[in-house]
Structure 1
Amino acid sequence: MSITPPGDIRPNLEASIGRRDPKKAAMSGWIGSALEYYDFALYSLAAALIFPAIFFPSENPTVAIIASLATYAVGYVSRPVGAIVLGAYGDRHGRKHVLIFAMLLMGFATFAVGLLPTYGQVGILAPVLLVILRLIQGFAVAGELGGASAMIVEHSPDARRGFFASFSLQGTQVGSILATGVLLPLAALLPKDQFETWGWRIPFLLSAFVILAGYIIRRRVQEPPAYLAQAETGKAKRRFPLIDLLRTHPWVLVRCVIMTFTNVIGMATLIFGVSYATQKGYGIGYSSSEFLWVTLVANLTAVVTIPMFGALSDRIGRRTLMVAGGIGGGLLAGGYLWAIDQRSLVLVFVCVVIVQGIFFQMWNATFATFFQEQFPMRIRVTGFAVSQNVGLMIASFFPSIFTAVAPPGSTNVPVVIGLITLGICLAAALATLLSSDTKGKSLEDLEAPKAGSQPLTSEHA
């Protein structure tokens, strides 16, 4: 007769497999991520299209653009703090609770942005308040994808984790589409002075509905049975998750941070690329409404490709798609900027579909599952949230660096920015290749120590 070691969670995990609900978990993650990233994407678009003029007026267009994009980056500065606090909350008290709190906080901050006075009305107080609200946004969003994807992974069958977890990523794209879809008609139909005076505020004020919808949706989400089984043992509450993470999985954490730099593709195309195309200082001459359409097409393509690549990762592995997508997107990012430089809107649409809608989504559709699989359940939300958000904090400064390296009036902007983007993507691909591919492994197997982590002692447990 076999004897189960004290505290062993496998019998509980096995007993709970029949109570998993991956479809409901995926739908909850999809809807919640869509609502929360609607808020976050609004600020990203406004920072490139609107805020340089109304919050950071300057006779030097380079200074205004850098200042506005820096506030975009500020939201990422607070994300590591949010990752530590909200990640610990999700690991110790449940995925459901952290998702509700993050949603409500994000909705409040975004609604408040829509009420802010401009620089012309209150002077320096306006950008100060904007920065504070952006910090709150960053803190809140840090717990969203980590909690949502952990919930989906722990609900999903082992052979289909990539497919189901991809829906939380698809939700982030839908949120961006909603944000773009609200801004697009306003930017296209309103005179420029009205759009910059009050039109831009409407999408932010609509976040009041996010607060209500988020609470209704998230309070109905059920905790994963596997998490509940482990929580009953008391293991998840004995050590602060960040300390546990740093002691047991330090190199896994470092690799995931470097892998997150693949987001430079989006920074080069949909953040810096928008400024490059629309800001007067660069002299390209595209309108804001034209590039809202470009962003919309990129996100629509991603909605289609993300679940396809998520399902494909269950068949061929996560690493293959992440490496191919990262290197391919990094290689062609300069081509996308070149298309902008050629002033051919048709070519811009083609390039953004290839770079952002296909190659980057190979990485984006699979990284959440891959990261979640690198960490054991007791620190899964923290491990994911800290690695992703530290990486994004660093990557968020890339658009400002791009503007500083290739300011208005520079020559060969596509070549310079394209080479920098490719170099960063190659470093991220190397970190991916040094990590183990865990597709198809059971939740029990994912609890075992990995290369780059330290074996757990009884004290650590």
Structure 2
Amino acid sequence: MFTRSSDKALSDQQARRRVASAMLVGTTLEWYDFFLYGTAAALIFNKQFFPSLSPAAGTLAAFSTFAVGFVARPLGGLVFGHFGDRVGRRNTLIVSLLMMGAASTLIGVVPNYGSIGVWAPVLLVLLRVVQGLGLGGEGAGATLMSMEHAPAGKRNLYAGFPQMGTPAGLVLANVVFLTTNAVMPSGAFDAWGWRIPFLLSAVLVVIGLVIRLHVEESPSFSRVVSHRAVERFPLREAMRVGVGRMALTLGVMIANSAVAYVFMVFTLSYGTEHLDYSRSFLIVCVSVAAVIWFATIPFWTRIADRSGRRSMFVGGSVALLIWCLVFLPMLGTGSAVITAAAFLGMGVIVPITHSVQGAIIADTFPAAVRYSGTSLILQVGAILGGGLAPIISSALVGESGGAAGVTAYLAVVCLLSLVCAVVLFARVPEPEPAAAAAAEGATV
């Protein structure tokens, strides 16, 4: 027979699981929208919105519109971070989901260049900005909402659930894109069928909203409110952790973002235009790798909770450096088997560091200013890493005709992140998992 305490424990456990599930579903839908644009930018938008340019220049222009979303993300992070620290995590996450879904749906109805001329890419860029603003508020908020509901000793595990939304959104976007392409007549998909996955966002955002409306506010923010510790200018207070620590934390996350966007987005255009792989083959390879990425995040976060994330993150950074040295050369062999193995390796290695980077960044800041500080680091890192990676990679290939420059670029970025991780972990002791929640309650 259950006692009142056991009933409450069961209720708390169910509430935590509901929050973790809601954050996973919400981030999956937001990343679906974001990655859908990336896939379309790699394969479709150069023909639809930049037909007067050469194939190489059109691809570069399409990737530039993809990067615009990253430029908008820090602004979204600052705005949503400010209100997330002042009025709560839950409501800001609902607004970010609405913005992302509305922008993606409207991209599905934007006329192409042949219909309205230069206004077509202008509208595309404007909607991409809205996408970036929405995702800028999502990344940090979902991680905090989940982590701040976590029981003692499971902060990395719970912070990892929103991280799972990245590969899940990628898989969903690629599956919908690939399926739509497969069932349509030849040429119809490139002409207008690519719009269907974007229009599907309207349905998906409704599902996400229904789920998110049934979660409770973060306990950490509730304690901030009850202690009357809400900051008037949370970003200013967040900066008090020090420029040095923030710069090191920023450096830690750049490599994972850069490598991930090269393997998820850049390889789609590079593989089809320079290596003669089929579009479907590359999308399947990326999707299978993302499934592995998704499935292994709980494994890595549990290890981080049990054994500490320091050695795991440094080891993962070394593995990422090694694999980025062989990844593009493996694609360049022309062997489908070796290429598939290269993508599978990415699916295994990328989640080691990605699974805990959200928790590492969030633990840099106290609860009262955590949304603002975490958003700033995440979104600036996303620009320097993922936002620039496809553009830089395309430019390097266009200059040399090969991928050696891209490999060197990734190696430098990975080495930089590895050095930052070693220095950061040497300077900042890792908190004991069981003590983190108690310490948080005392510092609001």
Q: Deviations over 1:39-87 (max 9, x none)?
A: 1111111111111111112442221111111111100000110010001
Sequence identity percentage: 32
Separation (CA, whole Å) in 2 of partners of 1:439 and 1:446: 12
Matches within 5 A, 1:27-426: 27-236=21-230, 238-262=231-255, 263-279=257-273, 282=274, 284-355=275-346, 357-395=347-385, 396-407=387-398, 410-411=401-402, 413=403, 415-426=404-415
Q: Say how many residue pairs are matched.
A: 429
Contact kept, 8 Å, 2:139 with 2:378, in 1: the verdict is no
Quote the offset at 1:288 in angstroms. 1.4
Contact kept, 8 Å, 2:160 with 2:298, in 1: the verdict is yes
Q: 1:51 to 1:185 in 2, by over 3 A?
A: same
Q: Deviations over 1:290-342 (max 9, x none)?
A: 11111111111112111111111112222222222233123212422112211
Contact kept, 8 Å, 1:180 with 1:292, in 2: the verdict is yes
For structure 1, list consecutive stretches of 5 or more residues without a partner in the other structure.
1-15, 450-460
Q: 1:52 to 1:192 in 2, by over 3 A?
A: farther
Separation (CA, whole Å) in 2 of partners of 1:152 and 1:113: 30
Q: Deviations over 1:95-141 (max 9, x none)?
A: 10111000011000000000011111111111111000001000001
Alignment partner of 2:431: what SS?
A: coil
Quote the offset at 1:439 in angstroms. 4.9
Separation (CA, whole Å) in 2 of partners of 1:389 and 1:146: 9
Q: 1:22 to 1:439 in 2, by over 3 A?
A: farther
Separation (CA, whole Å) in 2 of partners of 1:212 and 1:38: 14
Question: Normalised by the size of structure 2, how large is the TM-score?
Answer: 0.92
Quote the offset at 1:446 in angstroms. 4.8
Contact kept, 8 Å, 2:68 with 2:129, in 1: the verdict is yes
Separation (CA, whole Å) in 1 of partners of 2:395 and 2:222: 49
Quote the offset at 1:190 in angstroms. 2.9
Correspondent of 2:417 among 424, 428, 431: 428
Q: Please give the root-mean-square deviation of Cα atoms over the aligned residues, in Å.
A: 2.1
Matches within 5 A, 1:450-461: none
Separation (CA, whole Å) in 2 of partners of 1:27 and 1:98: 17
**Which amino acid in the other structure matches residue 281 of structure 2?**
E
Contact kept, 8 Å, 2:41 with 2:66, in 1: the verdict is yes
Contact kept, 8 Å, 1:76 with 1:389, in 2: the verdict is yes
Separation (CA, whole Å) in 2 of partners of 1:193 and 1:329: 38
**Which amino acid in the other structure matches residue 253 of structure 1?**
M
Q: 1:64 to 1:382 in 2, by over 3 A?
A: same
Between Structure 1 and Structure 2, the one with more helix by share is 2
Q: Deviations over 1:215-265 (max 9, x none)?
A: 2111111012232122122211x3311111123443332222212212111
2:3 alignment counterpart: none
Contact kept, 8 Å, 2:239 with 2:373, in 1: the verdict is no
**Which amino acid in the other structure matches residue 337 of structure 2?**
V
Q: 1:36 to 1:232 in 2, by over 3 A?
A: same
Separation (CA, whole Å) in 2 of partners of 1:323 and 1:333: 15
Quote the offset at 1:144 in angstroms. 1.1
Alignment partner of 2:57: what SS?
A: helix
Moved over 4 A (4+): 446-449
**Which amino acid in the other structure matches residue 273 of structure 1?**
T
Contact kept, 8 Å, 1:268 with 1:417, in 2: the verdict is no
